[in-house]
Chains A and B, each alone.
Chain A
Amino acid sequence: MSIVVGVDVGSTNAKLVLMEDSRTLAAEVRPTGANCRGAASALLAAALQSSRRERSEIGCVVSTGYGRRLVDFADDIVSEILANARGALWLHKGDRRIQTVIDVGGQDSKVISVDRFGRVSDFAMNDKCAAGTGRFLEVACRILEIDLDTLGELSLQSRKRVEISSVCAVFAETEIVSLVSHGENIEDIAAGLHRSIAHRVAGLVATVGLQEAVFFDGGPALNRGLIKAFEEELGVSLLVPTAPQIVKAIGAALVASDSLSKKRPRPKTEAGPV
């Protein structure tokens, strides 16, 4: 019963991490789809199989994300903000202390301010509009008829500044169609899309205040073009983990680890570099 599980059921993808004694045993990602419960269960089965561990070895499961209440095998839930901050601080082993965490998710984006003790001291989330989120990029890729994975690399080849000025994802769709019909290059449009998201998220950053070091996670943080746009917009270099989409799942697993430690006479989980 020494294994802990963190599950992050997001609007686009569900993520699960299996941890034991501060070691990641397995990490799985799959589309959430219409069945949150099914997605979470499938992830757990896959993670157990890949790590060759048994369900009976799991001591605690904590879920987070939009579908956190639908994970029927979870022992507890934790908010995305807390899970994200926890995961980011634990993952970052460098000298520079993380003070700001930016998370761009499938349907929302968040900026978290972390104090010197590693606690959430402030946060801001976007309103309900999809602009400034991963969904915005998905919609754009559909119109541009390109794969989401190639969007970032394409944007890095941009030679001309193209502006996407709409603050609404629906209107931005029309704007992109218009840009295409005017013969603008896809590379330039892709870079414009990234700048548009960066500009919106910069507004959130201004709400909580920008303090370095800045950690960037969430699925869209895999996009190099978006990272570049953020760095230009904010004027700072970002710390981006190798697997940015599982940061919240790791944070949830760490919270599960805390719960497990409290139940035991002797804590086995080492604290991360918080």
Chain B
Amino acid sequence: MDARISPAESQAVASQMDYFRSRLGAHQTLEWLRRKKEGGRKVIGLMSWGVPAEIVLASGGVPVRLSGIWQDPGESRCKLPRDVCPLAASCFSEAEPLVREGLLAAVVLPGTCDWKRKLPDMLSASKILTLESPSSGSLTFIDADLKRFAREVSLITDLPVVTKNLRRASEKMARAREAYKALQLLRQRRKCALSGVDALVVEQTFLRDDLSRWTEHCSRLVRALEEKLSSRDDKPAGRLRPRILLIGSPVTWKQGNPVHLIEEAGGNVVCEDFHSHLSLLYPVEAFPAGAGAGDASLASRWTRASFYSLTAEADESFLFHAIDDFGGEGVIGHVYRTCARVQMSLPGVLRRTRDRGIPSLILETQGDPNEADRLRARIEPFVEMLLSRRRNGA
């Protein structure tokens, strides 16, 4: 079976994907940030997808995402404690060249995960800004924390965060999120529109280039995919592939990660929730308007970004909505051995998906490319089983 579902046959789609793939390399990010720094802009690294980048944009800063999964964690293993989380190692690999070149004016370390609190010691970085782990039970605290964060960012960029700028920045981010949301909605269609690998590439390039440019390319990709899907001669290569949702700890390393392996085995990852993507589709309504530096969406997104903010029931609710909307035929939960939180919560969530008649599989990894064979031994029969269920109308 063809391992790739990438819609390479569509020229328009392929040319948009070329843009996203070109943004993945560390070199391109470095070049972009060098230009920004030379232009007098302050670059601020964000160690979480959910950090309210609007505040950085509103203060004239350049937010760059350091919470990536694309850097090989192995590159920094010799500099980090032996049992450090692979995601932490990947983020470290990503941040270190920028720190070394003095490109970062500050790094934002959110308290969403324990290792993020300890990263300043490992990075010996420039200025460290912190954002406490939000909790749905402490609205006042989040509001105050985001305001404090805005003041600290302003001190670095020398531009205060005023309402007008924040509104403009929020609109810019909203356009980016809308484009990304449109892409996710396309993935809900039963006729396969995009491979999970390509979707991951798009997601990973968010805040690794000028935000307006990224948004434009994302919108163009959506349009190209819509055209491809509506064309009569389109042959949906991935149509027969079982539709799989991938959740849990964010995957790392370039080759041999579960997304690659699932699609290599004949499945299609139609939805993943590593970086709280689902919050785009199922927004948290826990916050009243006005919370969080005057913008409810900031606090809302920031809350969802935290592993600790939502109850297990809320997590399940997200997942069950996603299973229905994405036509999920199976759920794979990925967990690092070092990630106690996911280790504790995932089995229960997946047990309940089984109770709903959706097969599930847990993949425990250490983020090591050498694990690929062991993972294949689990993924391949899972995909086979889903295919068999589909053939027999399960």
Nearest CB in chain A: distance from B339 CB, A: 13
Contact between chains at B377 and A127 (CB < 8 Å): no
Interface assignment of A20: CB less than 8 Å from any CB of chain B: no
Contact between chains at A128 and B364 (CB < 8 Å): yes
Give 20 pairs: A residue, B residue, CB < 8 Å, sorted on A.
A79-B377, A79-B380, A79-B381, A79-B384, A81-B384, A81-B385, A117-B392, A119-B388, A119-B389, A119-B392, A120-B384, A120-B385, A120-B388, A121-B385, A122-B385, A123-B385, A127-B364, A128-B366, A128-B374, A207-B351
A120–B382 Cα gap in the complex (Å)?
9
Flag A100-127 by CB within 8 Å of B: 1 or 0 each: 0000000010000000010111110101
List chain A residues, Cβ under 8 A from B392: 117, 119
A46–B297 Cα gap in the complex (Å)?
69
> Given A123-B382, A125-B377, A128-B374, list of 9 further CB < 8 A pairs?
A66-B373, A66-B377, A79-B381, A80-B381, A81-B385, A119-B385, A120-B385, A128-B366, A128-B371
In chain B, positions 334-352 with a C-beta closer than 8 Å to chain A are 351
A127-B364, A128-B364 known; A120-B377 Cβ under 8 A: no
Residue ID in chain A nearest B364 by CB atoms: A127
Count A/B pairs, Cβ under 8 Å: 39
Nearest CB in chain B: distance from A184 CB, A: 31
A81–B380 Cα gap in the complex (Å)?
9
Contact between chains at A81 and B381 (CB < 8 Å): yes
Nearest CB in chain B: distance from A62 CB, A: 14
Interface assignment of A74: CB less than 8 Å from any CB of chain B: no
Interface assignment of B378: CB less than 8 Å from any CB of chain A: yes
Interface assignment of B354: CB less than 8 Å from any CB of chain A: yes
A117-B392, A128-B364 known; A123-B381 Cβ under 8 A: yes
Residue ID in chain B nearest A117 by CB atoms: B392
List chain B residues, Cβ under 8 A from A121: 385, 389
In chain A, positions 82-113 with a C-beta closer than 8 Å to chain B are 82, 108
Flag B353-394 by CB within 8 Å of A: 1 or 0 each: 010000100001010000101100110111011001100100
Nearest CB in chain B: distance from A162 CB, A: 29
List chain A residues, Cβ under 8 A from B359: 122
In chain B, positions 218-238 with a C-beta closer than 8 Å to chain A are none
A127-B364, A128-B364 known; A120-B381 Cβ under 8 A: yes
List chain B residues, Cβ under 8 A from A81: 381, 384-385
Nearest CB in chain A: distance from B66 CB, A: 29
A133–B70 Cα gap in the complex (Å)?
34
Nearest CB in chain A: distance from B331 CB, A: 13
Nearest CB in chain B: distance from A1 CB, A: 26
Residue ID in chain B nearest A127 by CB atoms: B364
A127–B377 Cα gap in the complex (Å)?
12
List chain B residues, Cβ under 8 A from A123: 381-382, 385
From B364, B378, B381, contact of A82 by CB (8 A): B381
Contact between chains at A80 and B385 (CB < 8 Å): no
List chain B residues, Cβ under 8 A from A82: 381, 384
Q: Which of B364, B366, B373, B385 has the most CB of A within 10 A?
A: B385
Nearest CB in chain B: distance from A111 CB, A: 12
Flag B109-120 by CB within 8 Å of A: 1 or 0 each: 000000000000
Contact between chains at B380 and A122 (CB < 8 Å): no
A207–B359 Cα gap in the complex (Å)?
11
From B354, B366, B384, contact of A122 by CB (8 A): B354
A211–B384 Cα gap in the complex (Å)?
22
A186–B380 Cα gap in the complex (Å)?
40
A117–B389 Cα gap in the complex (Å)?
11
A122–B382 Cα gap in the complex (Å)?
8
A82–B381 Cα gap in the complex (Å)?
7
Flag A232-268 by CB within 8 Å of B: 1 or 0 each: 0000000000000000000000000000000000000
List chain A residues, Cβ under 8 A from B378: 125
A127–B384 Cα gap in the complex (Å)?
20
List chain B residues, Cβ under 8 A from A125: 377-378
A117–B393 Cα gap in the complex (Å)?
13
List chain A residues, Cβ under 8 A from B385: 81, 119-123
Nearest CB in chain A: distance from B75 CB, A: 23
Nearest CB in chain B: distance from A161 CB, A: 29
A120–B388 Cα gap in the complex (Å)?
8
List chain A residues, Cβ under 8 A from B381: 79-82, 120, 123
Nearest CB in chain B: distance from A165 CB, A: 20
Residue ID in chain B nearest A123 by CB atoms: B381
Residue ID in chain B nearest A83 by CB atoms: B381
A207–B355 Cα gap in the complex (Å)?
11
Nearest CB in chain B: distance from A243 CB, A: 23
List chain A residues, Cβ under 8 A from B374: 128
